[in-house]
Amino acid sequence: MKSTFAIIEKELLFWENKSPALGKFFDNYIIMEMINLCAAVTVSRPDKQKIIADFIEGLALIPKSHLLEDKELQSRADTLTAPVIALIIAKGQEPEYQKMILESMVSGDSSIHVNGVSTRITAKGLQIYNRSLRMSVLTPNDVDELQQSFISFKKFKAQQVPVQLDDISTKLKSALGNYGFFDLPKIIALTDVNQHQLVASIAGNPVPYKIAMFNYLGFLKHLEKNYFHVKYQLHDKLAEIIDSSGRIVRGNINSLMDQSQEDKTRFKSWKYIDTVENDYKDKMRTPCP
């Protein structure tokens, strides 16, 4: 039986000979990462030849499908790549695989300092923290994102939030208030203290978390219905509110949709769908001090 890399090399060569422009596409860093992950998750599969061939064909269809805005071609690309994508996501959630990746990339030498207390950032600590997030951890970017989320979480937990918000949270609260955020049913259901905590949590987390939370709260639909009937205006205004870019906002909104063509290795709001729901429910359960 051919090795996994031999199969991949043969399929890449086939498509590059068929369309030389694909060579540059396959050399893209993100695409190469996906191909390497494909090799990792199919190495022991008895049907790897077909799965790999389908996956590479699906990747090869992406440039043309986007250029022509051909939905049928995009759907075929999704269908062909779906089995490997599912394997990659599942692999990244396996505890033993996460442990191996984290231990190889996290030295344990770094610490965060909050209120005079030092906390080491260790592979074991990150893995325990990730039990609630359930992020797939496969690449250095995933590890970086997990560490940033862990640091934000630790800082948030250490803060005394109830009455005073920091400058960033205060600015965010004011901007959200201008667009009816505090009139949303899920926000009205919270006490004032827990509303403050929720805003601080949104401010202290990365953009994908923010977008996932806004979606869960119904804020995105609220903005679209009441303020911005053109999507790019919504994206630009939300980017202004959370200090990001319209493209990043759009990508993360799209990545929440199951059938989206967006690059979900770059725009990761979908990873936070369960997390934001749990965070909100925690606020509902937390009694007012």
Chain-centre distance of CA 233, in angstroms? Answer: 23
Exposure on the CB side of residue 174, measured as CA atoms within 13 A: 8
pLDDT of 66 above 80 = yes
User: Average pLDDT, stretch 166-194?
Assistant: 85
Q: Which residue has the higher pLDDT, 166 or 266?
A: 266
Identify the pLDDT of residue 53. Answer: 93
SS3 267: coil
* Cβ proximity of 208 and 267 under 8 Å: yes
* Cβ proximity of 237 and 243 under 8 Å: no
What are 183-218's pLDDT values in tens digits? Answer: 888 988 888 788 888 998 898 888 999 999 999 999
Which among 288, 273, 279, 286 is positioned nearest to 134, based on CA atoms? 273
The lowest-confidence range among 15-24, 150-159, 195-204, 249-258 is 150-159
Chain-centre distance of CA 283, in angstroms? Answer: 22
CA dist., res. 138 & res. 160, Å (int): 35
Q: What is the mean pLDDT of the chain?
A: 83
* Cβ proximity of 168 and 203 under 8 Å: yes
* Cβ proximity of 110 and 144 under 8 Å: no
Exposure on the CB side of residue 81, measured as CA atoms within 13 A: 24
CA dist., res. 74 & res. 66, Å (int): 7
* Cβ proximity of 217 and 183 under 8 Å: no
pTM of structure: 0.47
What are 253-277's pLDDT values in tens digits? Answer: 999 987 777 787 888 899 899 989 9
Q: Which residue has the higher pLDDT, 156 or 203?
A: 203
What are 104-135's pLDDT values in tens digits? Answer: 888 777 777 655 556 778 888 888 877 767 77
pLDDT of 286 above 80 = no
> Cβ of 44: how many Cβ atoms within 10 Å?
7
Identify the pLDDT of residue 148. Answer: 82
What six digits make up the tokens of 59?
A: 């990747």
